[in-house]
Amino acid sequence: MTADLPAVDPASASRFVAATGLEVGEVSGTRVTGSVQVGPEHHTPWGVVHGGLYCAVVESAASIGASVAVADSGQFAVGVNNTTDFIRSMTEGRLEVVAEPVQQGRTQQLWQVLITRAGDGKLVARGQVRLQNIRRPGARGAHTSGSAGSR
């Protein structure tokens, strides 16, 4: 990773991201792994893990990998579309997360993320995130006026 990127610590990113409980393991521009320990704090009123948790974990893992992939060019990546399928319900336990790119282009990337049960490897959720590569503010050659999305 480059020194220009913030440390990959989802717990310090925001309260929202910290609430997912995502613990990042391996990080590169072609693979991100991690885990989440789910329990009652992640439940819907009906006692199963909320689908929004899976969406947030999918987006976080894909964003980390995609941002690392373009960091050396003075960019980071932001999600522009997230499609997450919920395959089976969970109430508690450890989940494993693996994110890998499907396509990495100059302006956009497409990442796939699989979330499986740690005990038996069964698929719990899968997601696909399209990300836009944008210049980091202040990066050499970065556009300095207006928002990143206005170019």
- Output the pTM of the full model: 0.86
Q: Does some domain include residue 106?
A: yes
Number of domains in the chain: 1
How confident is residue 17, by pLDDT bands cut at 50, 70 and 90?
Answer: confident
Does the structure show a pLDDT above 60 at 101?
Answer: yes
Q: Does some domain include residue 151?
A: no
Q: Does some domain include residue 37?
A: yes
Q: What is the pLDDT of residue 151?
A: 35
Tens of pLDDT, residues 50-78: 999 999 999 999 999 999 999 999 999 99
The CA distances from residue 110 to 27, 46, 65, 128, 147, in Å, are 17, 33, 11, 7, 23
59 assigned to active site: yes
Q: Does some domain include residue 3?
A: no
The single residue of 23, 26, 59, 92 carrying the catalytic annotation is 59
Beta bridge partners of 127: 84, 113
CA distance linking residue 4 with residue 118, whole number of Å: 33
Does the structure show a pLDDT above 50 at 128?
Answer: yes
Q: Does some domain include residue 145?
A: no
Q: Does some domain include residue 2?
A: no
Q: Does some domain include residue 150?
A: no
Q: Does some domain include residue 87?
A: yes
